[in-house]
Amino acid sequence: MPTPASRLHALVTGASRGIGRAIAQQLAARGCRVAVHFQKNRAAGETTLRQLSGTDHALFAADLARAGDVSRLWGEVTAAFGRVDIVVNNAAIYDEHPPLKTSYDEWQDAWQRTIAANLFGPANLCHLAANAMASSAGPLDAAHGRGRIVNISSRGAFRGEPNAPAYGASKAGLNSLSQSLARVLGPQGVYLFCLAPGWVETDMSAEHLGGPRAAEILGQHPLGRVATADEIAHATVFCALDAPASMTGCIIDVNGASYLRT
């Protein structure tokens, strides 16, 4: 993929708000053409699209928990853009389902929805992207490879999520998926990176950060604050555009030292 960043094409899932919007904005600011994915909130997706610098960006809708939607999304993006050089799997859901406070039916529903959205969806998109990137024509670019996939995981994959165990399990699975694919795809010049944020200041977390748990959450953070969406986006864009190939397979903690693993 011997092209400068100004001509790279990126697909960002869950880009209608929060971390995904910040990632799309920063990729566009670096000159990338961005495919903005949303699931239901078209108005929010259109807001993201208007905020992107540069031209020729586009908006795409899909429910990534549905395998058919993932395939359709990939087909639509590649038809519109010609190719995709960067995929950022950011879209995810978080539903609380404390093991001792949910019925068996509620438990089943939470696991099925969470794994479908947070693991099966990214896995299916990784499969489509990896096969397209690995088979792309042209010489292998030593710096950037033939394509890059950045998966947004969570510190919950390591510390556990007592009130949302399916979320923690889905993110642990995403970490393993990323590392497995890194080993398979490295020889083809397709590089995998994984980011594991902790709490991030977004509209989705506002209820928790402004609620009765606020002091407890902030107490976990030596910085005295949680991460911003722009900080997560900065790390993501580094992986998508600047990280050396030797970092493929890495899992990067971006949690302000709120959880340290060995």
Do the beta carbons of residue 83 and residue 136 sit within 8 Å? yes
- Residue 7 has what pLDDT? 82
Query: Is 89 contained in some domain?
Result: yes
Which one has a higher pLDDT value, 140 or 121? Answer: 121
Query: Is 262 contained in some domain?
Result: no
Active site residues: 167
- Residue 61 has what pLDDT? 98
Mean pLDDT of the region 82-91: 97
Give the C-alpha separation, 147 to 240, whole Å.
9
Its pTM stands at 0.94
Mean pLDDT of the region 62-83: 98
Query: Is 218 contained in some domain?
Result: yes
Confidence of residue 1 (pLDDT cuts 50, 70, 90): very low
Read off the pLDDT of residues 145-204 as tens digits, 9 standing for 90 and up. 999 999 999 999 999 999 999 999 999 999 999 999 999 999 999 999 999 999 998 877
Confidence of residue 19 (pLDDT cuts 50, 70, 90): very high
| Residue 153, H or E segment | none
Per-residue tokens: 106: 């509620």
Query: Is 259 contained in some domain?
Result: no
Confidence of residue 139 (pLDDT cuts 50, 70, 90): low
Query: Is 131 contained in some domain?
Result: yes
Query: Is 135 contained in some domain?
Result: yes
Tell me: pLDDT of 3 over 50. no
Q: CA 143, 148, 150: angle at the middle one, nearest 5?
A: 130
Number of domains making up the chain: 1
In this structure, what CATH number is given to the domain that contains residue 185? Answer: 3.40.50.720
Give the C-alpha separation, 129 to 126, whole Å.
5
Query: Is 14 contained in some domain?
Result: yes
| Residue 201, H or E segment | strand 200-201
Q: Could you count the other beta carbons within 10 Å of the beta carbon of residue 55?
A: 7
Query: Is 220 contained in some domain?
Result: yes
Owning domain of residue 125: 5-254
Do the beta carbons of residue 47 and residue 38 sit within 8 Å? no
Tell me: pLDDT of 2 over 80. no
Q: Classify 140 as helix, strand or coil.
A: coil
